[in-house]
Amino acid sequence: MRRVVASLLLGAVLAFPLRSAAQDLQPSPERQRVLIHLLRQDCGSCHGLHLKGGLGPALTRSALAGRSAQELTRTILEGRPGTAMPAWRTFLEPAEARWLAQLLLDGNALTSKP
C-alpha cells in the first residue's frame, strides 16, 4: 500500500512542474496586452513604429530570420552593452521575454491584439 501511495505522490509531483512550466510560457491575456503595448511603444520608439528599424535594427520576421528565440530572449533581458539597447530584466520575467521573442520571430508583433 505504501508503494502505491508513494508512486501516486511521485507521479503527481513530477506532473505538476511540467504543467506549471507550460502555463508559464503563455502570459495571461491581460499581461499579453501590457507586453504588446510595451513592444509597440517602448521598443517601437527605437526600432521604429512598424518595427522596421530606426535607432535600433528592424525587428521584422525577415530581419530576425536565423536568430533563435533564446538569443532574442537574452538580448531583451540583458540588453546590448555599448548600444542604446537597455536591459529589460527589471521589468520582464524570463518567460515574458521568451514570449515576446517568439512573437517577433513568428511575425505577429504588429498583428496581435493589445
- pLDDT tens track for 77-109: 999 999 999 999 999 999 999 999 999 999 988
Residue 21 has pLDDT above 60, yes or no: no
Instruction: Please give the residue range of the domain that contains residue 66.
Output: 27-106
**Average pLDDT value over all residues in the chain:** 83
Q: Do 74 and 28 contact (CB within 8 A), yes or no?
A: no
Residue 44: give its domain's CATH number: 1.10.760.10
Give the pLDDT band (50/70/90) at residue 1.
Answer: low
Which of 13-22, 31-40, 52-61, 80-89 comes out lowest in average pLDDT? Answer: 13-22
Domain count within the chain: 1
Whether residue 6 lies inside any domain: the answer is no
- How many distinct helices (H) and strands (E) make up the chain? 5, 0
Q: Could you give the percent of the chain with pLDDT greater than 90?
A: 71
Beta-carbon contacts of 47 under 8 Å, excluding residues fewer than 6 positions away, are 53, 54, 55, 56, 57, 58, 59
Whether residue 113 lies inside any domain: the answer is no
- pLDDT tens track for 48-64: 999 999 999 999 999 99
Averaged pLDDT for residues 20-38: 80
Whether residue 7 lies inside any domain: the answer is no
